Amino acid sequence: MKYQQLSNVLLAYVVAVTAIAPPVEQPSIFDIAQRVPRSFDQNLHGILSKGATISHSLADAPRWSEYHEPTPGTIINVATERDVQTVVRFCVKNQIPFLAQTGGHGWIGSWHLGQNGILINMRGLNKTTFNPGRTQARIQGGALIEEVIAQAYANDAQVITGNCNCVGNMGAALGGGYGNLMGLYGFSVDNIISLEVVLANGTAATVSADQHPDLWWALRGAGQNFGIVTSALMKSYPTPKSKNMAWTGGLFYTEDRIEGVVQAIQDLVLKEPMNVFLYYTTTGPPTFNATVLVTPFYFGTEAEGRKAFQSLLALKPYKDSTAHIPYNEWNTAANSFCIKGGRKPSYGAGFANMVPATWRAIWNAYVDFLKLPGTQFSSILTECYSLTYAQSIMKSTSSFANRDVRFNGAAIPNYQDPNLDRQAEAFGSKVRALWRSTDSFPRNRTYVNFAFGDEPNDVVFDTSTPRLKQIKQQYDPQNVFNQYFDIEPAR
């Protein structure tokens, strides 16, 4: 199958890519430098469920990138939603910093969880269930995207998820949640019905439009700053397997087609069933030659897809590995993004237009970076989705701020040697600066799930920032949820 050929090629060279009362006032819990005492293990075992386990090895919760990764001294593998409450209460009581993790793909370079901290591994909470009509799905907080899709497909349904199988579904959704079907159904945050959340004092709350509406607004776009979501009730869409098909795959171009490809993507009018990605990547071993890759997506027939993307096909790709494939295989070609380990300091930016001259300059920077030994798995990517339906939903309905951003790009250096960090940072910063130089926005804008970590709040949360600070003061005044684009409580 041609699509499987794309998957194999990509594997070689794409990125190895509060009951609602506020907590009791107490000193900051993040000034303690010592490692969590091992004597705490016995205390924890006494209060956790029988299925929960405790580890002191990072190998038990590996991360996608080892660049400035969290280095907790203790990992707690929770088995129940109550375990999450228990760990949060224990950490707050004992002044221990903590972080919840599912897929471990958050790539920011500003983590500050060290040996004195606890990582709450959510992977044990991975179930997805559907109501009888298949119009709603209950998704636990530790489920990966591929697990959600597998259950949806088995139940003749669709659920809005991201496009990388091994990413934690909840983390992707709480940041906003782009995905293949968003042209039809909106962002993930638009499809959440309610959330079960462990708050900063270890209490559990059901949060929805009718229950704690301020927190509801904040969680959908900046969720990691306000609690740990143990499960979400989301909309789902009954779809028989015979209709649950899309045309997608790879169109490969030589570098002399860059300007034409970029202009074609800029000019595309993406209808609801469509999206398109642009990559700079390599051809893989043995030569690792830089190449241009476009992945069109059309939810419908192959004939419909080819007609919709005729402008790109007319540029005569040197290889076409597209195919008509079922829902549970749409993300397969990107499974190389699931390879964990190595160093991947990634820099993102949002922009309104694809400018050919900018992309030529980015190509030159990319080719120069590939000259460094050990960087051959590095890549550049940009995503573009149909936004018509998503933009029909008022921006004020959630804290997610990027409904007006047409393109999201990321420069992803990929290497093993820490001695290359400085060159990788310079490369990523340069590409980000090039995007920003022609982004057509009055100030920088970056999708929170694509950001590097040095961005101020108003770059990732935009005009939502002041209200988020006020809500933070109400629900997390001691700022215990401070690992991911920290929002300081209003004072």
Backbone angles phi, psi at 129, to 5 degrees: -130, 160
Angstrom distance (rounded) from CA 176 to CA 170? 10
Which residues of the chain, if any, have pLDDT below 70? 1-37
**Minimal CA–CA distance to 414: which of 64, 6, 5, 58?**
64
Model confidence over 178-217: pLDDT tens digits?
A: 999 999 999 999 999 999 999 999 999 999 999 999 999 9
Residues 6+ apart with CB under 8 A from 385: 178, 182, 183, 270, 275
- Please tell me the predicted confidence (pLDDT) of residue 25: 37
The pair of structure tokens assigned to 341 is 């380990």
CA angle 254, 258, 262 (to 5 degrees): 140
Model confidence over 104-159: pLDDT tens digits?
A: 999 998 899 999 999 999 999 999 999 999 999 999 999 999 999 999 999 999 99
The pair of structure tokens assigned to 29 is 């819990």
Residues 6+ apart with CB under 8 A from 338: 64, 164, 165, 166
- Cα distances (angstroms) measured from residue 485 to each of 39, 118, 156, 225, 465: 32, 18, 37, 8, 11
CA 77, 82, 86, 88 dihedral sign is positive
Angstrom distance (rounded) from CA 429 to CA 347? 7
Angstrom distance (rounded) from CA 410 to CA 435? 10
Angstrom distance (rounded) from CA 168 to CA 165? 8
- Please tell me the predicted confidence (pLDDT) of residue 43: 86
- Please tell me the predicted confidence (pLDDT) of residue 37: 67
Letter string b/e over residues 121-147, b meaning 16 or more CB atoms within 10 A of that residue's CB:
bbbbbbebebeeebebbbbbbbbbbbb
